[in-house]
Structure 1
Amino acid sequence: MNIFTLPDVGEGLTEAEIISWRVAVGDTVRVNDVIVEIETAKSLVELPSPYAGTVQALHVAEGDTVEVGRPIIAIGDGAPVDSSPNESAGGGQDARQPAPERQAMLVGYGPGAEQLVRRRRVAAPSAPSAAAPTAAAPVTAPTQPVPVEAAPSTRVLAKPPVRMLAKTLGVDLSEVIATGEVVTRADVEAHAAGRHHERADAHTSAMTSEPDETRIPIKGVRRWTADAMVRSAFTAPHVTEWVTLDVSRTVELVASLKGDRAFADVKVSPTLIAAKAVCLAMRRTPELNARWEEDAQEIVVPRSVNLGIAAATQRGLVVPNIVAAEQLSLVELARAIGELTVTAREGRTQPAQMTGGTFTLTNIGVFGIDAGTPILNPGESGILALGSIERRPWVDEHDQVVPRWVTTLALSFDHRVVDGEQGSRFLADVAAVLRDPAMALTF
C-alpha cells in the first residue's frame, strides 16, 4: 500500500488547501494522473499521482488545510476492487496471499473487516486439489463493499472560484442544480437565494436571522500577500516619485500596432509600451533592478530584468514575472504578458513563476485610478504604477491649450538601494519613451 503525502511544492511553502479531489475511493489511477488540486499561498497546483493502482482512502477532505508531509491519499495495487474468479484460479495461493497483508495496513480506511474475512477463506485451502472448489467462492465478490464506496465518485464539476464562492456562502455544491455541464457562479447564487427563502418559510429561529457581517478566512494568496506587504512596508524605506505626462504618441502607437499583422494574435496596450520602456530605462539605471541583501549587507544587481506584472484575480493579487524581459522583442513581450495574465486570472500560475522577480509594473489605470503609492514586492527595489490614460486639456510647446491623452506615473523605490538621483533618472527615462516612443532608438 502506498501513502502519498503532501509534497513540498517549493519556494518555502509549508502548507496548502485541498481545493478539489479529481479521484474518489475505488478509482483506478496511473502514474502522473492528476489526482488533486491544491491551493498554496501563491497559486493553484495540480498534483499528479506518483503511484499506479486503486484509490483506497482519501485522508483529507476538500477545504482542509494540510501541512507538507501529511498523508493525503492511499493507493493500493487494485486487488480489493478487481479480484475475480480468474485471478483466484490462475494465481494459486502465493498470488493471493499478499493482499490480506496490505489490507491490514489500512485499518479504518480500506475495505471492511467482513471483506477481509472472506478473502482469508478463499486463501485457506493448501492442497492443489482444493483450489478448484475454492475458486467458485469469489462469485460473492459483487456484494463486497468496495464497489459501493466507488459509487460516490461522481463529483460536482465547478471551477475553483465557484467552489470558493460556494464555501463563502455555505452552499453544498452537490445540492446545486447546474444549468450546464459545470456549476457556475450564477447557479450557486441562485441556490443560495432559494435557500434563504426556504429558511424564511421554515420560521426556524436558528436560521431566520441574517448575520450583520461576513467573515472571510484569510489564507492562500491573500494571506501571503498581506504578510509580504507588511514585511516590505516596514523593512524597506519607500520613496515615491510622480510625473504627469502627455502620452498621446503612445496611444497613437498602440492603435497603429493593433492594425499590424505581426501583432494580430497578441494584445497591444499602453502596458506593453510601459513594460518595454522599463526594460530600456534599466540599461541606464540598473540600480532599479537590484535588491538589498540584509544578511550579507550587499546590493545584488542581476544581469537580467525579470519583470513582474501585477494581476488582480479572484484569489487576490499575484505578481508573476517574465524572465529576461529585456531580451524580448515587442511582439514577444506582448505575447508573454498576455499568457502571463491569462494564466494568473485562471489561477494556474506556478509558484516558481512568482519568485525571482527584479522589478514590478502595475497598471492601476484599468480601474480608473489616476495614481497611487505602490508598495514594493519583497526582494525588489522598484515598482512602477501606470495611472489611467484620459483625455485632458494640456498646454503644448506653443503655449496652446489642446486636448491630449494624459497619464501619471508613480515610482516607488527602496532608498537603501536607489538614491534620489537614480530613481528620478529612471522615471524620467520611462516617461521620455512614453511621451515619444521614438526615443527608444536612443537607449
Structure 2
Amino acid sequence: MLEVKLHDVGEGMTEGEVLHYLVKVGDSVMTDQPLVEVQTDKMVAELTSPCSGIVKEIRIEAGETVQVGTSLLYIEIDEAVRAVQKSFVETKSIAEEQSIPTIKLEEKSPHMPFNRILAAPYTRKIARDNNINIEDVHASDPSGRISEEDVLRFLKGQQTDTESKKESKQVEVDQEVPDEIPFRGIRRKIAEKMTKSLFTIPHVTHFDEVNMTNLFKMREQLKADGESVSVSAFLIKALVISLKDFPIFNAELDEENSRILLKKNYHIGIATNTDSGLIVPVLHDVDKQSIKEINANVGSLTAKAIAGKLQPFEMKNSTFTVSNVGPLGGMGATPIINYPETALIAFHKTKKQPIVNEHDEIVIGHIMTLSMAFDHRVADGATAIAFTNRFASLIEQPHKLMMEMI
C-alpha cells in the first residue's frame, strides 16, 4: 500500500486546500496520472500518481485544508495494471517500427486503464465550477489539449440550450433565495493573508501627489520615435532607485531575532486583478533591468497572471509591492501591506487640473495621487515622506531619472 501525501509543489508552501479528486475509490490508475487538485497560496497544483495501482482509500475530503505531509489517499500497487501498461508500451513501440497507426491516448482503449484528458488545472477548475464534464469538451488544439477558450465555448453553447428550455417551460424562480459564492481557493487565501498582515503590522498610510506632466511629454516624444513604454515601467524604475536611497522600505522585520533585514535584492511584486482574485507576480532583480526590459517583463507577467499560467518561482520572494489601480479610477485608498514586507505603494488616478508652475503661472498639469502603507514598527512618517519626495522628484523631472541610470 502506497501513501500519496500533500507535498511542497515548489513555492515553500506549508498547507493546501484539497479542491477536487480526479479519481475515486476502486479506480485503476497509472504512473503520472493526475489524482487530485490542491490550492496553494497563489496557484492550483495537480498531484499525480507515483505508481500504477488501485485507489483503495481517500483520507481527506474535498474542501479541507491540510498541512504538507498529510496523507491524502492510499494506492495498492497492482502488478496486473503494471503488466498491461508495459504490454501497451511494447505494442506501441512495435507498431511505430512497422509504421502502423497507434491508438491515440485520448481515445478509450481496453489497453489503457484510464482516459487522460489533457488540460491545465485552471482549465479543469473552470469546467468543474460550471458543472461541465471536461470529457465532453472538444479540443480545438491539434495536440488534443483542452484550453480555457474550449471550455468557455462549450459553456456558452450549454447556456443557450438552457435558456431555450427555460422559455418553453416558464420556470418560476424564487427571488428570496440568495446567490452563493464559494469562499475557498484563491479568495480564501487572500483573506487569510490580508488578515494576518492587518492584525500583525501596525499600518500607517501616507498620501501624496506627483506631477506627471513632464513624464507624459517624454513618453509622447518616445512614441514619436517608435518607442512605446508604459507609465508603469518608469514608476517602477523610479521606485527601485528610491528604495536604494531608503533601504528601510526594502526590508523585513524579524521579530523573533530582534532585527530588521535590509534586503539587497530588489524584487517588486505587481498586484494584479484577475478573475480568480488578486495575484502578485514578482519582477525579480529590477535594479538590473532597463526601463524597456521592465516594460516587457511587466506585460508578460501580468498576462500570465490573468491567464492563470504563472510558475511558482514567478510568485516568490518579493521585497516591495506595487499596486497600479489608476486605470481603474479612484483617488486614494489605504492598502494592506503584502506580509512580511515593510511597505506597499498604490498609484491612483491621474487627472488634469490647474497648477502653479515655477513662474507663478496657472497652467494645466497631470496630477497623480498615491498612497503608501508602511509598517510603523520599522519606519516613521518622516522617512516615508522623504521616500515619496525622492520618488516624486525622479518622475517630475525625468532627466534626473535618466541620470541615475548612467
The aligned counterpart of 2:262 is 301
Give deviations 1:407-428, integer Å, cap 9, x for gaps: 1121111111111111001101
The aligned counterpart of 1:240 is 205
Distance 1:2 1:164, change over 3 A: closer
Instruction: Specify the SS of the correspondent of 2:294.
Output: helix
Selected match of 2:293 from 319, 332, 339:
332
Q: Work out whether residues 16 and 41 of structure 1, in 8 Å CA contact, stay in contact via their aligned partners in 2.
A: no
The aligned counterpart of 2:376 is 415
Name which of structure 1's ranges 226-235 and 351-360 shifts more when overlaid on structure 2: 351-360
The aligned counterpart of 1:70 is 71
Letter in 1 for 2:278: L
Q: Under a length normalisation based on structure 1, what TM-score does the superposition of the two structures give?
A: 0.70
Cα distance in structure 1, aligned partners of 2:267 and 2:129? 36
Letter in 1 for 2:290: S
The aligned counterpart of 1:195 is 162
The aligned counterpart of 1:392 is 353
Indicate yes or no: 2:174 matched with 1:173: no
Letter in 2 for 1:278: L
1:432 Cα deviation from its structure 2 partner: 1.0
The aligned counterpart of 2:283 is 322
Cα distance in structure 2, aligned partners of 1:150 and 1:200? 43
Cα distance in structure 2, aligned partners of 1:223 and 1:357? 21
Distance 1:214 1:299, change over 3 A: same
Name which of structure 1's ranges 212-221 and 176-185 shifts more when overlaid on structure 2: 176-185
Letter in 2 for 1:40: T
Matches within 5 A, 1:31-50: 38-47=38-47
Letter in 1 for 2:258: Q
Q: Work out whether residues 17 and 40 of structure 1, in 8 Å CA contact, stay in contact via their aligned partners in 2.
A: no
Q: Work out whether residues 124 and 134 of structure 2, in 8 Å CA contact, stay in contact via their aligned partners in 1.
A: no
Indicate yes or no: 2:335 matched with 1:383: no
Selected match of 1:292 from 250, 253, 260:
253
Instruction: Specify the SS of the correspondent of 1:388.
Output: strand
Letter in 2 for 1:324: D
Distance 1:334 1:344, change over 3 A: same
Matches within 5 A, 1:36-435: 38-47=38-47, 51=50, 54=52, 56-57=54-55, 67=66, 68=68, 69-72=70-73, 74=75, 79-80=80-81, 82-83=83-84, 153=115, 155=117, 163-169=124-130, 171-174=131-134, 180=140, 182=146, 183-192=150-159, 194-195=161-162, 197-198=164-165, 201=168, 208-209=173-174, 212-257=177-222, 268-435=229-396
Cα distance in structure 1, aligned partners of 2:224 and 2:285? 27
1:195 Cα deviation from its structure 2 partner: 2.7
Q: How many residues align?
A: 372
The aligned counterpart of 2:100 is none
Letter in 2 for 1:217: P
Letter in 2 for 1:421: A
Give deviations 1:363-388, integer Å, cap 9, x for gaps: 00121223322111111111111112
1:404 Cα deviation from its structure 2 partner: 2.8
1:63 Cα deviation from its structure 2 partner: 6.5
Give deviations 1:100-157, integer Å, cap 9, x for gaps: xxxxxxxxxxxxxxxxxxxxxxxxxxxxxxxxxxxxxxxxxxxxxx9669587264x7
The aligned counterpart of 2:8 is 8
Name which of structure 1's ranges 58-67 and 395-404 shifts more when overlaid on structure 2: 58-67
RMSD: 4.0
Give deviations 1:161-210, integer Å, cap 9, x for gaps: 665455445x33359666956534353244245335535755788xx546
Give deviations 1:270-303, integer Å, cap 9, x for gaps: 1111111110001221111122223223222112
The gaps in structure 1 that reach 5 residues or longer are: 88-145
Cα distance in structure 1, aligned partners of 2:214 and 2:79? 66
Distance 1:393 1:152, change over 3 A: farther
Instruction: Specify the SS of the correspondent of 2:346.
Output: strand
Q: Work out whether residues 161 and 314 of structure 1, in 8 Å CA contact, stay in contact via their aligned partners in 2.
A: no
Instruction: Specify the SS of the correspondent of 2:205.
Output: strand
Cα distance in structure 2, aligned partners of 1:304 and 1:352? 15
Cα distance in structure 2, aligned partners of 1:291 and 1:390? 34
Letter in 1 for 2:397: D
Instruction: Specify the SS of the correspondent of 2:302.
Output: helix
Q: Work out whether residues 26 and 55 of structure 1, in 8 Å CA contact, stay in contact via their aligned partners in 2.
A: yes
Q: Work out whether residues 11 and 352 of structure 1, in 8 Å CA contact, stay in contact via their aligned partners in 2.
A: no
Letter in 2 for 1:41: D
Q: Work out whether residues 81 and 113 of structure 2, in 8 Å CA contact, stay in contact via their aligned partners in 1.
A: no
Distance 1:229 1:283, change over 3 A: same
1:16 Cα deviation from its structure 2 partner: 3.2
- Say which structure is richer in helix: 1
Q: Work out whether residues 358 and 380 of structure 1, in 8 Å CA contact, stay in contact via their aligned partners in 2.
A: yes
Instruction: Specify the SS of the correspondent of 2:200.
Output: coil
Q: Work out whether residues 54 and 78 of structure 2, in 8 Å CA contact, stay in contact via their aligned partners in 1.
A: no
The gaps in structure 2 that reach 5 residues or longer are: 89-107
1:430 Cα deviation from its structure 2 partner: 0.9
Q: Work out whether residues 282 and 314 of structure 2, in 8 Å CA contact, stay in contact via their aligned partners in 1.
A: yes
Q: Work out whether residues 27 and 153 of structure 1, in 8 Å CA contact, stay in contact via their aligned partners in 2.
A: no
Cα distance in structure 2, aligned partners of 1:20 and 1:253? 54
Letter in 1 for 2:132: D
Q: Under a length normalisation based on structure 2, what TM-score does the superposition of the two structures give?
A: 0.75
Cα distance in structure 2, aligned partners of 1:245 and 1:278? 13
Letter in 2 for 1:188: L
Q: Work out whether residues 206 and 381 of structure 2, in 8 Å CA contact, stay in contact via their aligned partners in 1.
A: no
Cα distance in structure 2, aligned partners of 1:222 and 1:303? 32
Cα distance in structure 1, aligned partners of 2:262 and 2:158? 54
